Structure 1
Amino acid sequence: MTDPNSRDLLPQGTTTEAQLVRVARALAPVVAAHAERTERERTLAEPSAEALREAGLFTIGTPRRYGGHGAGVRAAADVCAELATGCASSSWLVGIVYGAALFASQLPDEVRTAIWKSDPDAVLCGAANPSGSVTAVPDGLELDGRWPWISGIDHASWVLLGIVREDRGGPERGLALVPASALTVADTWHMAGMRGTGSRTAVASRLFVPDEQFVSFAEIAEGIGIRRHPGEARVIFPLSINLPLVGTGVGIARGALERVVRDLAGGKRSVSPLHALTAEAAPHQLNVAQAATLIDTATLHLRRAADEIDEAARAGRRPDLETRARLRMDGSHAMRCAREAVSLLLDTAGASSFSDDSPLQRAWRDIGTASRHAALSVETSRELYGRVLLGRSLPHTDVI
């Protein structure tokens, strides 16, 4: 498939979530064609960025009121899974932009209008972990410092910076929205995997942020978005934000499975003296079957979690703690299954798959990096879920 003719991929009128997924499937070979350049440049290659922008996939989380798709988590996760079969970094950035749009959608309407009215295609990104220093000033905050690991900052118009501000009740963790043009970007992204995400460091110096451009995680958890904007789905923080990124991991594994199956079914010769073809060897048959089952398991857990979050979001309710802990476990377990599937497939593909020009080698590095994102840690999720199931106490936090 050649580069698409921009929005011609999307039918006229209201776009359904199923149509968004089909668009992502059609774009997978487009971003795949530029995956090497994306990795080499350590940022999303401009042809891929343009294709995603023109197809409307950077606006799947933008509220419909501002020309976006206002898509649910299940659709975002499926979109990311489709794109990741072609380019994991492209997929990850679509997931990041989706999550950042959900965060920004919690802000007052005058802020949302400033973001999207003049530019419905505005790309947002951010770093949720608190960093930098915060000083209270009249009518707002002043920020100084560095915020690392901001995926997509090279293409962003607005950036959400994780901060802790002092409120009357004590420290309050949340996000400050700032224009990307007000930040300096330090080129600190030198990683083994997910190189094309361009997750560089933002630097702020005495940057003023009006009070209305800050939203706390506690406010998001309590449903400030649906109080401010009736009729929109509730954001279930952090699950609404994190689950699409799990879709990237599932898509990486699917792409690896498709490639290995194609190579084996195409007559790849065996290095074993027992078989002429690799596909004839029972151990490799079992590896492929196990990898496919792990990918199915990952998909089922991801979709179950996403469907439950969408149902709760549409109803405007926040799931109880045990359900949230289980759904977080769903996402982390899905990512771990995807990583294990890729490992099995590389066992079957052999040492040649680790050559620098092999897409399987990139898949191995990408899933190895993405699956260890702090928000997707299976170790943390397992401990949280176990504590909840056993009635053990948890520290007060709004990020579970």
Structure 2
Amino acid sequence: MHKVLRHVEEIADHLEAHAAEAEDEGRLSGKTAQKLRDTGVIRMLQAKDFGGFESTPAEFFEAVMAVGARNAAAGWIAGVVGVHPWQLSQFPLKLQEELWGEDPDTWVASPYAPMGRARRVDGGYVFRGRWPFSSGTDNCDWAILGGLVTDDDGEIADPRPRHFVLPREDYTIHHDSWEVVGLRGTGSKDVSVDDAFVPEYRVEVQEKFDRGVQAREVGRDNPLYAIPFGAIFPAAINAGTLAMAEGALAAFVNYTRARVTVRGTATSTDPAHLSVLGDAAADIAASRTHFLDDWRRIWDVVERGEFLSDELRLETRRNEVRAVRRAIDAVDRLFALAGGGSLQRSRPMQRFWRDCHAGLVHVCNVADPIYQAYGTNLFGGEPERYLW
């Protein structure tokens, strides 16, 4: 067992006890964020020379799922914020020194959607825009924000998305922008930038993170950094979502132990409930196993010094979105049998159910584009390269 996973187990009770608090406050509390920070989960994909572990992706995803099964918001943040050091470890060393030179536990938010606009100036860019869904942003000191470069007239000059890294003083968090019914505890608020200067060394083209190009430029030879961005980032979202399904299953079991139906029978001995439970538990376990096994396959390939083929990338992404759908369908079957008592806000089951469906609508969990890309490639076509 990775030592981070042991540390996560040590704070499991705290994560469970403060899940409702995160939802009420619309963010992780400072105390919960600090406990999560102390586990080291956010440093698992971070370069060793800046305090990271350079763990395998499967080890990282196991830790994310261990967090999220206890506290969906914390697990989501562990996945999203925790995948950022993988990319930042491939930026110029000057930026890495700024981020982690004094504190290797510095957290960096996102999002990557290229909604910003940047104009070239001497030494860098003038950058502006507004982005929704900045998960965990209240607990972060920097942000990676997506954008496109324009000419002086505001027209797109280069269609390639770029990632711009900014310190907290250069962007604004809009605290009234996250009024939602699921994953509220992630605090995935809007952030905006108003003509901030971003130096050249804090900006990289997204496609350079596809086949280890950027990693080689900064001398990173661990196969971890040869994994494509389009593979590892969606998987962090998938892991956080699968974690919620595991949490919902545990909540159902705990609630069912003492529940009595309106007919006066114990649900823990009711054949209908036991049948649905067994079926759902098997689907959730299968989803977890399929997901982690695929990431061990991916690791075997890059560890041999090979690039991932399009066939393997599409096959594993196909499996990921199917695993998520299979797991959430299982949660729905459990929730349908949980009874009216499970709707009480004091019951974790209803929160996990809402969080599961909030996670399901993330673009990285949307199945049809991945299925279509897989089929197009299978029959010799050219699939759109998007999130795979």
With normalisation by structure 2, the TM-score equals 0.92
Structure 1 Cα separation of the partners of residues 191 and 13 of structure 2: 31
1:216 aligns with 2:205: yes
Cα pair distance change 1:29/1:380, threshold 3 Å: farther
Structure 2: unaligned runs, 5 residues or longer = none
Structure 1 Cα separation of the partners of residues 133 and 142 of structure 2: 15
SS at match of 1:127: coil
> What is the CA distance between 1:267 and its match in structure 2?
4.2
1:338 aligns with 2:335: no
> What is the CA distance between 1:380 and its match in structure 2?
1.9
Of residues 22, 44, 63, the one that matches 2:28 is: 44
> What is the CA distance between 1:226 and its match in structure 2?
3.0
Structure 1 Cα separation of the partners of residues 377 and 139 of structure 2: 40
1:258 aligns with 2:250: yes
Identity over aligned residues, as a percent?
24
Of residues 276, 280, 284, the one that matches 1:291 is: 280
Alignment of 1:234-249 (within 5 A): 234-249=226-241
> What is the CA distance between 1:245 and its match in structure 2?
2.5
- Please list the CA deviations of residues 67-124 of structure 1 after superposition, one character each: whole Å capped at 9, or x if unmatched: 1122221111111111112100001111111211112112111211111111111101
Say if 1:83 and 1:90, in contact at 8 Å, map to a contact too.
yes
Structure 2 residue identity aligned to 1:263: Y
With normalisation by structure 1, the TM-score equals 0.90
> What is the CA distance between 1:318 and its match in structure 2?
2.7
Structure 2 residue identity aligned to 1:101: P
Structure 2 equivalent of residue 98 of structure 1: 82
SS at match of 1:332: helix
Say if 2:148 and 2:159, in contact at 8 Å, map to a contact too.
yes
Structure 2 equivalent of residue 119 of structure 1: 103
RMSD over aligned Cα atoms: 2.0
Of residues 219, 243, 264, the one that matches 1:229 is: 219
Of residues 166, 173, 189, the one that matches 2:178 is: 189
Say if 1:239 and 1:309, in contact at 8 Å, map to a contact too.
no
Alignment of 1:11-90 (within 5 A): 18-90=2-74
Structure 1 equivalent of residue 368 of structure 2: 379
Cα pair distance change 1:80/1:210, threshold 3 Å: same
- Please list the CA deviations of residues 338-395 of structure 1 after superposition, one character each: whole Å capped at 9, or x if unmatched: 2112111112211211122210010011000011100121122222212222223223
Cα pair distance change 1:64/1:85, threshold 3 Å: same
Say if 1:102 and 1:235, in contact at 8 Å, map to a contact too.
no
Cα pair distance change 1:169/1:229, threshold 3 Å: farther
1:368 aligns with 2:357: yes
> What is the CA distance between 1:200 and its match in structure 2?
0.9
Structure 2 Cα separation of the partners of residues 373 and 149 of structure 1: 10
1:107 aligns with 2:91: yes
> What is the CA distance between 1:30 and its match in structure 2?
1.3
Say if 2:42 and 2:85, in contact at 8 Å, map to a contact too.
no
Of residues 313, 318, 330, the one that matches 2:307 is: 318
Structure 2 residue identity aligned to 1:341: A
> What is the CA distance between 1:32 and its match in structure 2?
1.3
Number of aligned residues = 380
Structure 1 equivalent of residue 163 of structure 2: 175
SS at match of 1:130: coil
